[in-house]
Amino acid sequence: MSDSVYKIIELVGTSDTSWEDAAKKAVEVAGKSLRDLRIAEVVTLDTKIENNKVVGYRAKLRLSFKYEPGR
């Protein structure tokens, strides 16, 4: 393993269909502005409920990427 430094941020992805889709969306959107994504750790999963039915899914992720100051 080479010497590197990584930054970790938390993001919440949402989806009308599944937790997996919510997590995937969070990573894909983050990838548009962050470079060199490394690991996404699922922290929590929850659902939105309306009229006693699940209507949405949320996935909170810790996302790490290579930290390069000054870039």
Domain architecture of the chain: domains with CATH:
13-66 (3.30.1660.10)
Question: What does the pLDDT read at residue 65?
Answer: 93
Q: Report the alpha-carbon distance of residue 51 to residue 61 in Å, rounded.
A: 27
> Per-residue pLDDT tens for 3-54?
788 999 999 999 999 999 999 999 999 999 998 899 999 999 999 999 999 9
Helix (H) or strand (E) holding 30: helix 19-30
